[in-house]
A and B are shown apart, each in its own frame.
With several copies, the nearest count.
Chain A
Amino acid sequence: MEVLYFAWVRDRVGTAREQVDPPESVSTVGELARWLASRSNGHAAAFRDCELLRAAVNQEHVPFGHPVAAGDEVAFFPPMTGG
Chain B
Amino acid sequence: MIRVQGVDFEPGAEIDRLLRGRTAVGGVASFIGIVRDDLHGPALRAMTLEHYPGMTERMLAAIEQEANRRWRLSASLIIHRYGRMVPGDRIVLVVTAAPHRQEALESCQFLIDWLKTKAPFWKREETEEGEHWVEAQVRDDVAAAKWQTEPSAN
* Direct interface between A and B, CB < 8 A: yes
Let me know if B123 and A56 touch, CB within 8 A: no
Let me know if B52 and A82 touch, CB within 8 A: no
Q: Report the stretch among A19-27, A36-44, A63-71, A72-80 that lies at the interface.
A: A72-80
Residues of A contacting B137 with CB < 8 Å?
81
B111 to chain A, nearest CB (A): 9
Q: Which residue of A lies closest to B92 (CB)?
A: A83
Q: How far is the CA of A55 from the CA of B120 in the complex (A)?
A: 10
Let me know if B121 and A81 touch, CB within 8 A: yes
Q: Report the stretch among B7-15, B16-24, B69-77, B128-136 that lies at the interface.
A: B128-136
Let me know if B136 and A79 touch, CB within 8 A: yes
A50 lies within 8 A of chain B by Cβ: no
A76 to chain B, nearest CB (A): 11
Given A80-B117, A82-B80; A6-B50 close (CB under 8 Å): yes
